[in-house]
Amino acid sequence: MQKSTSRKKIIVFGLLALLACLSLAIGVFFGSTSQDWSTAEGPFIILNLRLPRGLLALLVGMALSVAGAVFQALLRNPLADPHLLGVSAGGALGVVLGSGFLLTGTLAFSIPVLSSLGSLIAVVIVYRLSLRKGALSIYTLLLIGVMLNSFFVSIIVFLQSLVRADELMTVLFWLLGNLSFANYPRLAVITAILTATLVLLMLQTKKMNILSLGETTAQSLGVSVERTKKIVFILAALLTGMAVSVSGMIGFVGLVVPHLTRLLLGSDYRTLLPASALLGGSVLVCSDVLARLLIAPQELPVGVITSFLGVPFFIYFLKQREAKRVF
């Protein structure tokens, strides 16, 4: 019995990896102009525009899906997503605040720095306010996070009404999700952070499984609950802040992909995290292709695509499964 389960898991993993490669190929070879190696500017467009952009989409999709899956276990809430706790809004606020003081030309380059700074400050505030006698209270964390999120968004909207129109467009476009700021040095940094975070999270997966049964039961099973919650929160916040800093607030991937993965492979976080990463990466690469093509030569914010396609797709799956009482 055990054997057939693990064989099924291996097959699904293989398919997911294949899907990720396939999406990346689609991302590289489909665009507003058809390109291949034989045309004059083909290699340049493929190597310096489409490939880094596809890779960025892949990495961001991975980071958001993993962060989403982790937040769902940590907050004991299947509806949790990476943007829930104000980490992303903090990053966005950093960008909007910074854009008020910067020249338009430098904005695109300084966005990651401003965003990381904003996210970091938001994480520290949420974390500090959620500590009670040294323990991280999940209810408080959820409440403070959601409140702070609204608070940041209100400031963002207020500031947006003050900045110049052209800057407003840059910032707004970035806020809704934008993968066009890809370059190789940036990709290298993201790959390093993502790999390190993912490895550290994989070491917490057994504990995350148990933590989803509730803190008392988890502690009675020998899990050091407080330490696990803190480690996991910091790592998921790091992933989120990083994803937002290079791509804005791409919605829905972090919520939907973990659930889709659960339908495919079950709830065990040991398989859920890597599988969510592969699926989330593929989903975002494909969404980005659509975002580039649908109204070409204009571009849509990729967040529009993920939400627009994600919602009906997800509801369909949910209804399918509900009938079998699995989900």
Partner 1 sequence: MQSKLKWHRVTFSYDGYFEMKPSSYALHEGDFTLFFGPNGAGKTTFFKIGMGLLSPASGQVLLEEKPLNTYRTAEIAQRIAYLEQEIHYLFPFTVEEIVLMGRFPHTQSHFWDRKEDLEIAAWAMEITGTLRFAKRSIFQLSGGEKRKVEIARAICQKPKILFLDEPTTFLDIKQKNELFELLMKLNQEERITIGLISHQLETARRYVRSAVFIQNGQIEASGQASDLLADNQICQFFNFTLSSGIHP
The count of chain residues that interact with partner 1, using the rule CB under 8 A, is 35
204 interacts with partner 1 by CB under 8 A: yes
Q: State yes or no: residue 33 binds partner 1 (CB under 8 A).
A: no
State the CB neighbour count (10 A cutoff) for residue 109. Answer: 11
Q: Which residue in the set 49, 135, 202, 309 belongs to the binding site for partner 1 (CB under 8 A)?
A: 202
User: Does the footprint of partner 1 cover residue 197 (CB under 8 A)?
Assistant: no
Among 78, 164, 169, 196, binds partner 1 (CB under 8 A): 78
190 binds partner 1 (CB under 8 A): no
CA-based nearest residue to 193, from 249, 234, 248, 252 = 234
- Cβ burial of 53 (10 Å; 0-12, 13-18, 19+) is buried
Looking at 40, 216, 298, 312, which residue binds partner 1 (CB under 8 A)?
Answer: 216
CA 17: distance to chain centroid?
18
The count of residues in the chain is 327
- Both tokens of 221, joined, read 């099973």
| Rounded Cα distance, 157 and 149, in Å | 12
Q: Per-residue x/- marks for partner 1, 35-74, CB under 8 A? A: -------------------------------------xx-
Tokens, residue 135: 């323990």
Note whether 133 binds partner 1 by CB under 8 A. Answer: no
- Residue number with CB closer to partner 1 (222 or 297): 222
Query: Applying CB under 8 A, which of residues 53, 229, 262, 292 lies at the interface with partner 1?
Result: 262
Burial code (b: 16+ CB inside 10 Å, e: under 16) for 79-102 equals ebbbbbbbbbbbbbbbbbbbbeeb
Site for partner 1 in 218-247 (CB under 8 A): 219-224
Binding site for partner 1 (CB under 8 A): 1-2, 5, 72-73, 76-78, 202-207, 209-210, 212-214, 216-217, 219-224, 262, 266-268, 270, 325-327
